[in-house]
Amino acid sequence: MRTTKFAVAVAALCLVPLLSMAEDRPYSQGPVTSVSFIKIKPGQYDNYMKYLAGPYRKLMDAQVKAGLAVGWKVYDATAHNPNEADVILAVTYPNMASFDKQKEFDELAQQVTGSFAAMDKAYADRGTMREVLGSQLIREVVLK
């Protein structure tokens, strides 16, 4: 019993400097945004926009309503060369822990799309309209 109380006291003393260091920081870590860079294939811009305005919007709105995502945006970009994105998709999540909720994301996607088979087919169909050049996770820094 004495050993347990002593161990707890030592652990608490070790945490105090860490807590004070965190309080001294002039910022905190904010929401996390996943940014995808998309190159639209020739002649497919309107078709891809129809997809974004339809099934994509439905899924993103469902994620926001369920609290899994904070918000989402679609950006039109000016590509300066053939290897740059035409469209940028951004989805903002409350924090990094949101990515540990894969089961919830999968269940919601299945509810919205009907089945995993339908999701796979839709992914393949989008491949005829676009190429994903890459993606990036960025975290907002909230200045105090």
Give residue-wise pLDDT tens across range 85-144: 999 999 999 999 999 999 999 999 899 888 778 778 888 888 899 999 999 999 999 999
Classify burial at 4, counting beta carbons within 10 Å of its beta carbon; exposed 0-12, middle 13-18, buried 19 or more. exposed
Question: How many beta carbons lie within 10 A of that of residue 63, not counting itself?
Answer: 22
pTM: 0.79
- CATH architecture for residues 27-143: 2-Layer Sandwich (3.30)
pLDDT at 9 (0 to 100): 52
pLDDT at 117 (0 to 100): 80
pLDDT at 18 (0 to 100): 52
pLDDT at 113 (0 to 100): 85
pLDDT at 23 (0 to 100): 73
At 81, list the tokens: 């060369």
Give residue-wise pLDDT tens across range 13-59: 555 555 555 578 999 999 999 999 999 999 999 999 999 999 999 99
pLDDT at 19 (0 to 100): 52
pLDDT reading at 63 higher than 90 = yes
The CA-based dihedral angle spanning residues 105, 106, 110, 112, taken in that order and rounded to the nearest 10 degrees? 10
pLDDT at 14 (0 to 100): 56
- Alpha-carbon gap, residue 94 to 31, rounded angstroms: 5
pLDDT at 116 (0 to 100): 75
At 40, list the tokens: 């639209």
Choose between 79 and 73: higher pLDDT: 73
pLDDT at 80 (0 to 100): 93
